[in-house]
Structure 1
Amino acid sequence: MSSFRKVIPALAVIFFLIHSNGFAQQFDEVMSSEALRPFWSVYGFGASAFTLLNNSQLATDISSTQYNPAFLTNIKRPKASITGKSFSVKQLSTLADVGKEYSASSSESYIDYIGFAYPLPVYQGSFVLSASYTPAAYYYSSATSKGITGTTFYDEDDNPFIVDTDLEYNVRETGSIDVVRVAGATEFMKNVNMGMSLNFYSGERNYQATETSTDVHNLIGDSSIVYNQNIKPSYSGVNADFGLCFQSDNYKLGLRISAPLNLSIREVRERTQEYTDDEDTLTTYLDTYDFKYKSRYPLEIGSNFAIKIAKITLGMDIVFHNWQKIEVDLLEDETAINRDLYWNLRNTTDISASIAIPFGNSLSTRFAYRRVQSPYADLKDSDEEYYHVIGANVETILNRSLIIGCSYQRGFGNLSNYYPYFETTTKQKYTEDRLALSLAVLF
């Protein structure tokens, strides 16, 4: 038993020291909007993802809404888990606060989780190993907006002038980043558990945007301009999560530290500009990019506290994000790609609260809420300060060996999107519903 107990602490120290050395250029508050996108989701990214299926998945616990490898010690028998998820995203968009509100939606269904855990026989305490697959974040959305508004154009001397144009925006994003975790946990001392997981990330996104401008009063030489952009980044990277947990009969205190996540990114971009003049002559310009760079999300800290009152468990989670210290390679040979570097990030704190209510020995329910702070410092409207996630789940255990769970989650909030080509902003109301069904077998 003593040799097992030494393995995880030693690996944790070695991996953390090696992984804390950065390789990318650090801009402090400066970064590209594309560099932020992989790491941020209303539902949380990676270990901080909002989850309520505490019995039917691994390394989860009734006291918390986030992942912690130390929770693996709750597993006393070999366990296999699988979860399917269906989600629907709806966005209501208004162009420059002057147009009509338009609705766009998308929906997908996927196998969301596969995991297996095995408790090793030890002399005293516990030692559990596990492997699992789950998406770290989904990127599915669709938005459309249109209306007549003033658009800035520039003459031959680069002087700006305003033209009334009929603008239309159509945006669609698909893809996910998936993570394979290999984890272990041990009872480090009485009532104190320690765990570690190595996380291997991979995935891709596809962002497609079409912006159409029609000159209402024929004041410029082109009756219409169509700007298309297709961005296809693919990701791969690795990091580690370290977890501690103290638990007694009525209290539980957990701490998770996620080491910096280094991502290698290959990004393929294609941009086309189509100009149609008053004589219906079409002129097309095409720009393509295919380049590689690295980005790095720094240290993340998540904590949780729970107290049991009678049979009811009350829990709270706090997740600290250090957005200002994101690092990204400066693409010196692709200056056009760096046009959107800006100083607009801050450090944030996400707060969750949950209540778990059991009914007998075979049925449990849980309700939770998370307030997610926007990573952007300079917000267009005050109602963009926070996003919100609410959820509920029910799980039942049959014959002490079969666990069936169902959870529902809804995320919602407001967001302003800036489109630099026509220098226009759209206002969006975001809603995403997720329904998950899970099955776990204890052997």
Structure 2
Amino acid sequence: MRTPIGRAYCAIALLLCCPLSLVWAQTAPLPQPLSLEAAMALAEEDHPDLRKALAELDAKRADREVSNAADDVQLDLLAKLQFVEPARVVRDTDRERYSDHHAEIVLSKRLYDFGRSDALARAADAAVSGSEQAVFSARQARRLEVMRRFFDVILADLTFARDNEAMATDYVTWDRAQNRNALGQFSDVDLLELESIYQRTRHKRAVSQSEQRASRARLANSLNRPGELPGDLTAPELPKQFSEVGELQPLVDSALQNHPDLNALKTRMEAAAARLGAARSQRWGDLTASLRAATYSEAIGARDYPLALDLTYRLPLSSGGRVDGEVARAQADLDAARADADALALAIQQAVLEVWLELDNLRLRGEELKVLTDFRELNMDRARVLYEQQKKADLGDSMVLISDLTLEQTRWRFDSVMARARLDALRGKPIGMPAEGENKP
């Protein structure tokens, strides 16, 4: 039977284990092997860039709540302790000083402020809309980065495989030359040349091996899993052919209409214009209604009435330059937003042009690789026949060329997918992976 102390220890242990279990659940290991779909799903998780965008969105929503509450009914309690010395003509002989204390409850509401509250509400709504666009843009950037880092790991593995095969081929060539040199059938100069070739490919293989680790570290960081290097990756099924993306101008028009960052700047312009109107409307004051329920320590004149209804119009005659300053600041913010939007529009047009040209170049690269594939496959068949007929010592060079072709074909497909993904991002389309056989732009 457990003692009370023992039960207390068990309770403490459970409390300590709960946070640890939550941490473990939040940091579950990466799937093995890691697929692109799983990596893209992890891109939506708790990354600093995305957290920052979401925090800014929460701040804008909080600002909107504050702005919307500006015209709400307000209830205040006022209390005042006051001692007054009455005028000589009304002073009592027995009372040299009055205790004029009072307390009141005030229910007030601003009825009209010449559009200032409405303008501030529109500005707050526009700011929230802009932050939502910023969150979408952050998600797009996260998916692009994860996709690129995932592809880099696969390319690093293929590069290492090619360089490892090339090193093995050069080593065999150098080793055979050593045997021939020992028999006096191969010169020392030619032997040193083959050794230098082997050392060069050996160093190249070491660089490729280092890139395997570095690319995995970059992928882990992009997934917000620093130090958790993924092992095996599942190569995605990608289209072998891609259709043309069409004319340039429709792509530019679509990007200028739907780019999330540009839309965020447009909402920033709307917010700045609304704040400008709100600042100008301050010159006309406001109209406020209030209901007061008060109690006084002394009943003097109209203060015999415990309830009072006020309707107050406030017209600022002088603000000391404050209103003019706020108007100037709002105008400057609007001008800056317009300038930023114009600059971003130019950058977007240039970016769309460059991606469009890149896709055209990739189309030609695909045609080149198709011919090169036919050539190297035939060359490999010929080398295999010569090897079987013992007219060729090995198949090393041909196998290296095939490995290099595999690397270049994979790089071409990845570059084509990435270029289309960047084009989707520029046009505000959610980034996703095309299915096998899908070749639409």
- Tell which has more relative contact order, 1 or 2 (C-alpha 8 A, sep 6+): 2
**TM, length-normalised to structure 2:** 0.19
Larger Rg: 2
Higher helix share: 2
